[in-house]
Amino acid sequence: DWKILALHFSLQFYDAAQGNNVIQSYIPDDTIDTKVTQHNQFNQETDEAHEEDMEIGYDDRPPTPTYEGLEQRFIDEIMKLVGERSDKEDAEFARHNERIAEINEEFQEKLSSLRALQETRREEFLRKELQARSNQYQDGKRNHFPTMKVAD
């Protein structure tokens, strides 16, 4: 509030130096009074908030950063970013491993069904081969030893 009053009085002295009516300048203007009142009220609220902060332990202004402090803050931020990046990479790596496991499981299921199909086809092939050889053997046996017909 002292700034407004100082400004008000400096304007009055400037007017007096310019030859304006000084008496009228000393009469407070209503707009200046309302501004001064508002400014005083704001300063009072700010002072109360500052006192509350001081009771809690806050300081209005943080200490000016030193080179070492800035360097440490920079290093801390870098470490934080590196940690976040590492966490993201780990999460992505885990997702890839899960997907690889899913693909492997699907492959194993397909391989099992393919092996089962191959086994049934092999058994059918061997059964047909056995039947064909058995028929061939029977045909060869009949042709090799023809049945004798006895004349009546």
Q: Are residues 47 and 7 in the same domain?
A: yes
**Residue 63: inside a domain, yes or no?**
no
Mean pLDDT of the region 131-139:
90
Q: Are residues 36 and 87 in the same domain?
A: no
**Residue 88: inside a domain, yes or no?**
yes
Dump pLDDT digits (tens) for 66-103. Answer: 888 899 999 999 999 999 999 999 999 999 999 999 99
Q: Which domain holds residue 127?
A: 77-142
Buried b (16+ CB within 10 A) or exposed e, 64-81: eeeeeeeeeeeeeeeeee
For the cut 80, the answer to whether the pLDDT of residue 13 exceeds it is: no
For the cut 90, the answer to whether the pLDDT of residue 115 exceeds it is: yes
Q: Can you tell me the distance from the alpha carbon of 12 to that of 27, in angstroms, rounded to the nearest whole number?
A: 10
pTM of the model: 0.40
Confidence of residue 60 (pLDDT cuts 50, 70, 90): low
Dump pLDDT digits (tens) for 15-53. Answer: 555 555 544 444 455 555 565 566 566 566 666 665 665
pLDDT, residue 33, reads 56
Q: Are residues 88 and 135 in the same domain?
A: yes
What does the mean pLDDT of the chain come to? Answer: 76
Q: Are residues 52 and 95 in the same domain?
A: no
Residue 1 CB partners (closer than 8 Å, separation 6+): 36, 39, 40, 43
Confidence of residue 116 (pLDDT cuts 50, 70, 90): very high
Number of domains making up the chain? 2
Q: Are residues 47 and 92 in the same domain?
A: no
**Residue 152: inside a domain, yes or no?**
no
Cβ–Cβ under 8 Å, residues 4 and 36: yes
pLDDT, residue 56, reads 58
Q: Are residues 90 and 137 in the same domain?
A: yes
pLDDT, residue 55, reads 57
**Residue 70: inside a domain, yes or no?**
no
